[in-house]
A and B are shown apart, each in its own frame.
Chain A
Amino acid sequence: MADLSTDCAGIKSPNPFWLASAPPANSGEQVMRAFEYGWGGAVWKTLGQDPAVINTTSRYGAVDIGGMKMAGFNNIELITDRPLEDNLKEIYEVKKRFPKHAVVASLMVPCERKAWHDIVKRCLDTGCDGFELNFGCPHGMSERGMGAAVGQVPEYIKMVTEYVKEKSTIPVLVKLTPNITDVRYAARAAKQGGADGVSLINTINSIMGVDLETMKPKFAVGGKISHGGYCGPAVKPIALNMVSQIATDPETRGLPISGIGGISTWADAVEFMLLGSSSVQLCTAVMHYGFRIVEELNAGLEDWMERQGFEKLEDFIGKTAPSVVDWKTLNLHQKTVASIDHATCIGCDLCFVACNDTAHQCITIEKKNGNRKPIVIEEDCVGCNLCSLVCPVDGCITMAEIKTGHKPLSWEDYTKNGFAGYKEVYKRMHG
């Protein structure tokens, strides 16, 4: 049986699935229930200074895409609105009852050394397994100089991380905001400040829409809205990119990562792990379906590992990261062309119109006797994938590799000698 236990920056848990710091991890009762269902860890809803914040009503919003509910989700909820002492007591109780599960205290206080020292010291008494510094929350708290306001300034990230490391005896994760030009700078700053790892992504600045009848923002508070944090399935590719950037950056390579962003299934989680995450955090999917989804997260991961012959998570964590490279090193001589299986083609002709109107005009239909089956003009096909992406039938359009006989050629190699042989290369590539 595969071993699902993980060690992310020194924080150990029986499996890599943690509740993200969010409403599902708002109280001891919830976290304990989640652990009973099988969650490996929980990052507590962010703790802050008393008096606790006051939240608005109407806090969450969603976009439904093509009938899929909550394909994207957002919130303007702030950090915990419960008194610090209540949370600390509950963390202590949870840890006592679930000593092997990971309980991580998420923290957010003003950028003052004393404030951070105080909260770290108080939290250490709870027996929690690690800290996550919330430098990511993009709404509300950022207006008060916290959350994303810190995460957007690498110098602040480093400074505050240092404050925490001065007092902490347990691992420290820095949670990063995606609302930044290049996340590698933030990750480097965290590392320089002594962080044991990073967690990402936090939510993305977002407005969920406008009601076309009232012409007020959707999910408004008394007719007005403030930008919220966007998450859910729609953000996963953005998160995967940022995770892979940190996993492959020479300065941060090897820094433990807790992956977050649109994870709904075990397969999503595996993708984050293959790109370098040693634990993953979920929120939107839990808020959609409840804690029980962890049963399939664990079972699906285990089945996949057995199928692949992996015994433990380290066998594959980061395995795919080296395949994420700069564009300039990609092989320009790689050639694939679309291949349409007429036996399964249903004649919707979406591939035809997509290619003809919007891509490279390489699909034709011989419209005789009501024939609707599209044909790829192989010599013109540039292998862009679009037809295979729009095709509703699984496996009907595949991209077949064509052996060209040409040696691999990257843009980097090609331009080294000042575009030598431009015409020949261009002709070879574009026919």
Chain B
Amino acid sequence: MDSATKKIFRENFAEINPALRPEEAVVEANRCLYCYDAPCIKACPTHIDIPRFIKQIASNNLVGSAKTILEANALGHSCARACPVEVLCEGSCVYHDWQEKPISIASLQRRATDHANATGLRPFKPAPDNGHRVAVIGGGPAGLSCASYLRRLGYAVVLFEKHKKVPGGLNTFGIAEYKMDQKVSLDEIKRLFQLGIDVKMGVEVGRDIAPERLLKDFEAVFIGIGLGETHSLGIPGEGLRGVWDALSFIRFVKDRDLGPIGKSDCTVVIGAGNTSIDAVTQSKRTGAKRVVMAYRRSEAEMGAYGFEYALAKSDGAEFLWHASPVRILGKGRVEGIEFARTKAVGGKLKVTGSTFKVACDRVIKAIGQTKHFALAKAFDLKLASDGRISVEPETLRASHPRVFAGGDAINGGKEVVNAAADGKRAAWAIHRALQPGVPAPAGNDYWISTIDGRKVAPIMPKLPSERTKAHG
């Protein structure tokens, strides 16, 4: 990396949420009220027992705290940085009702898992091999989560990842670099792989190995393949140099390889979701002088979270609302983009006759990803109308009795934590499908109890005494 690039990453990509100092963490941990049946646990898709791990930090039991987190969420180390906690755990904290700052759950989670990571903690062991084999397709969050819990249950797991060298999917390549650098994801994966997952890198199911083969060689298959390429705009000029899809652009930033990105006087980002924001902020931070985010609908209809939008604003981005791209201009490479103004008529978006041009040298498309129809079809799976794989909500079993699925492939594109929760749910469902009635081996009860959230107070039998209440 040249010194200019180093400088860019040092100055513009400092972690947005730096680690808490140990004393700070204890003070923050002590603010937690330890709510009964806490809303934060419910708000977390993996149902981490948040008050418990926080009190473990308060009592200096960082290893115990990390275990509580990683039991419920195999990707807890990444989620401490990648999660949009403002709309999940922290967003549900009762401190909001008090008009006070919620507990910094993400920072505390990070305190515990950073410690575990730094000390090389290997919190869990695989159960003795049970003789059953499961294939996991996709080494992203859903697949990693599912594979790790299957190993803990004693299953032999072969994980197929199409990337030649680096696993982790969007957890490794898709989280804005100022939120989480790649090392966090890779450290997490290293810890999970230590459970004994047989990883086949550079193998794309459907291309390198046939789905029928998997169904023959394995008793169950978990599909965690995420989404496909970024949607095309379907307008002239998309083939010009300087036109990017957001995920490829972000991937180069994640690799800290700014050469292919080049310099930009003006970048236009098409779309207004959270990925669009990541493209906007990272364009700005890698040196684009001017960054314009264009959306065909209104500000109010933007898909990005409010706090993400605020970040883009504070990074100095400009915004174009009601602007629908018509064509990308240029000879060989991008020189500008032409938009049609839109307006909502009776709840429907209409293109008006008026158009305008924005001079720019880079266009980044961030308008969502396609679905992997081909693979789903190859397994002969039933799909929802929008192309997501249909599954039973309890078990995540797809229309084929031995095929399960989770993550973006079934939800159309959510968070790492949703994928982690799906992988966990599917692992337990696969166990029940392959070994009905067989209890989980020792050491698995806790995470299984977190799949649907922990039960609150047990209901005890009524005793015969007339007075059961301790009023005396």
A372 contacts partner chain B, Cβ-Cβ < 8 Å: yes
Nearest A residue to B60 via CB reads: A212
Nearest B residue to A391 via CB reads: B33
Q: For A380, list chain B residues within 8 Å (CB).
A: 469, 471
Nearest A residue to B51 via CB reads: A348
A53 contacts partner chain B, Cβ-Cβ < 8 Å: no
Q: For A352, list chain B residues within 8 Å (CB).
A: 36
Q: For B26, list chain A residues within 8 Å (CB).
A: 67
Q: For B97, list chain A residues within 8 Å (CB).
A: 345-347
Interface size on B, residues (CB 8 A): 19
A350 to B469, CA, bound (A): 19
Nearest A residue to B28 via CB reads: A67
* Residue interface mask B21-44, A partner, CB < 8 A = 1: 000001100100111110100000
Given A67-B27, A372-B39, A392-B33, are A346 and B94 neighbors across the interface (CB < 8 Å)? yes
Nearest B residue to A64 via CB reads: B26
Pairwise interchain contact A350-B30, C-beta atoms closer than 8 A: no
Pairwise interchain contact B457-A349, C-beta atoms closer than 8 A: no
Nearest Cβ on chain B to A346's Cβ, whole angstroms: 4
Q: Most chain-B Cβ atoms within 10 A of its Cβ — which of A345, A346, A350, A380?
A: A346
A345 to B33, CA, bound (A): 13
Nearest Cβ on chain A to B455's Cβ, whole angstroms: 13
Pairwise interchain contact B470-A67, C-beta atoms closer than 8 A: no
Stretch among A196-204, A227-235, A355-363 lining the B interface: A355-363
B427 contacts partner chain A, Cβ-Cβ < 8 Å: no
* Residue interface mask A357-377, B partner, CB < 8 A = 1: 101110000000000100000
Nearest B residue to A66 via CB reads: B30
Q: Most chain-B Cβ atoms within 10 A of its Cβ — which of A356, A361, A392, A430?
A: A392
A353 contacts partner chain B, Cβ-Cβ < 8 Å: yes
B13 contacts partner chain A, Cβ-Cβ < 8 Å: no
Q: For A392, list chain B residues within 8 Å (CB).
A: 33
Q: For A399, list chain B residues within 8 Å (CB).
A: none
Nearest Cβ on chain A to B239's Cβ, whole angstroms: 51
A393 contacts partner chain B, Cβ-Cβ < 8 Å: yes
Given A347-B39, A357-B457, are A430 and B27 neighbors across the interface (CB < 8 Å)? no
B131 contacts partner chain A, Cβ-Cβ < 8 Å: no
A431 to B26, CA, bound (A): 45
Pairwise interchain contact B35-A348, C-beta atoms closer than 8 A: yes
A382 contacts partner chain B, Cβ-Cβ < 8 Å: yes
A67 to B26, CA, bound (A): 7
| Residues 77-136 (chain B) with a chain A CB within 8 angstroms | 94-95, 97-98
Nearest B residue to A431 via CB reads: B471
Q: Of the candidates B34, B470, B471, which one forms a contact with A350 in the assembled complex, judged by CB atoms under 8 Å apart? A: B34
Pairwise interchain contact B35-A360, C-beta atoms closer than 8 A: no
A348 to B41, CA, bound (A): 12
Q: For B30, list chain A residues within 8 Å (CB).
A: 66-67
Pairwise interchain contact A360-B471, C-beta atoms closer than 8 A: yes
B472 contacts partner chain A, Cβ-Cβ < 8 Å: yes
A380 to B95, CA, bound (A): 30
A192 to B36, CA, bound (A): 56
Nearest Cβ on chain B to A279's Cβ, whole angstroms: 35
A359 to B37, CA, bound (A): 18
| Residues 436-472 (chain B) with a chain A CB within 8 angstroms | 457, 469-472
B58 contacts partner chain A, Cβ-Cβ < 8 Å: yes
Given A67-B30, A372-B39, are A356 and B457 neighbors across the interface (CB < 8 Å)? yes
Q: For A67, list chain B residues within 8 Å (CB).
A: 26-27, 30, 58
Pairwise interchain contact B470-A347, C-beta atoms closer than 8 A: no
Pairwise interchain contact B37-A382, C-beta atoms closer than 8 A: no
Q: Of the candidates B33, B469, B470, B471, which one forms a contact with A348 in the assembled complex, judged by CB atoms under 8 Å apart? A: B33
Q: For B34, list chain A residues within 8 Å (CB).
A: 350
A359 to B471, CA, bound (A): 8
Pairwise interchain contact A350-B33, C-beta atoms closer than 8 A: yes
Pairwise interchain contact B457-A348, C-beta atoms closer than 8 A: no
Q: For A348, list chain B residues within 8 Å (CB).
A: 33, 35-36, 94
Pairwise interchain contact A382-B471, C-beta atoms closer than 8 A: yes
Pairwise interchain contact B471-A430, C-beta atoms closer than 8 A: yes
Q: For A431, list chain B residues within 8 Å (CB).
A: 471
A21 to B449, CA, bound (A): 57
Nearest Cβ on chain B to A374's Cβ, whole angstroms: 9
A356 to B458, CA, bound (A): 12
Given A348-B36, A349-B36, A356-B457, are A361 and B94 neighbors across the interface (CB < 8 Å)? no
Nearest Cβ on chain B to A357's Cβ, whole angstroms: 7
Nearest B residue to A354 via CB reads: B36
A264 to B472, CA, bound (A): 37
| Residues 161-177 (chain B) with a chain A CB within 8 angstroms | none
Pairwise interchain contact B94-A360, C-beta atoms closer than 8 A: no
Nearest B residue to A374 via CB reads: B36
Pairwise interchain contact B58-A360, C-beta atoms closer than 8 A: no
Q: Most chain-B Cβ atoms within 10 A of its Cβ — which of A66, A347, A348, A372?
A: A348
Given A66-B30, A346-B94, A350-B34, are A361 and B469 neighbors across the interface (CB < 8 Å)? yes
Pairwise interchain contact A346-B36, C-beta atoms closer than 8 A: no
A392 to B33, CA, bound (A): 8
Q: For B95, list chain A residues within 8 Å (CB).
A: 346
Nearest Cβ on chain B to A410's Cβ, whole angstroms: 18
| Residues 1-37 (chain B) with a chain A CB within 8 angstroms | 26-27, 30, 33-37
Pairwise interchain contact B457-A430, C-beta atoms closer than 8 A: no
| Residues 359-411 (chain A) with a chain B CB within 8 angstroms | 359-361, 372, 380, 382, 392-393
Report the 7 A-B pairs with minimum CB-CB distance, sorted nearest first: A353-B36, A349-B36, A346-B97, A67-B30, A348-B35, A346-B94, A348-B33
By a beta-carbon cutoff of 8 Å, the part of chain A in contact with chain B is 66-67, 345-350, 352-353, 356-357, 359-361, 372, 380, 382, 392-393, 430-431
> Contacts A346-B97, A348-B35, A372-B37 given; 19 further ones with Cβ under 8 A?
A66-B30, A67-B26, A67-B27, A67-B30, A345-B97, A346-B94, A346-B95, A347-B39, A347-B97, A350-B33, A350-B34, A352-B36, A353-B36, A361-B469, A380-B469, A392-B33, A393-B98, A430-B471, A431-B471
21 A-B pairs with C-beta separation under 8 A: A66-B30, A67-B26, A67-B27, A67-B30, A346-B94, A346-B97, A346-B98, A347-B35, A347-B39, A348-B36, A348-B94, A349-B35, A349-B36, A349-B37, A350-B33, A350-B35, A360-B471, A361-B469, A372-B39, A372-B94, A430-B471
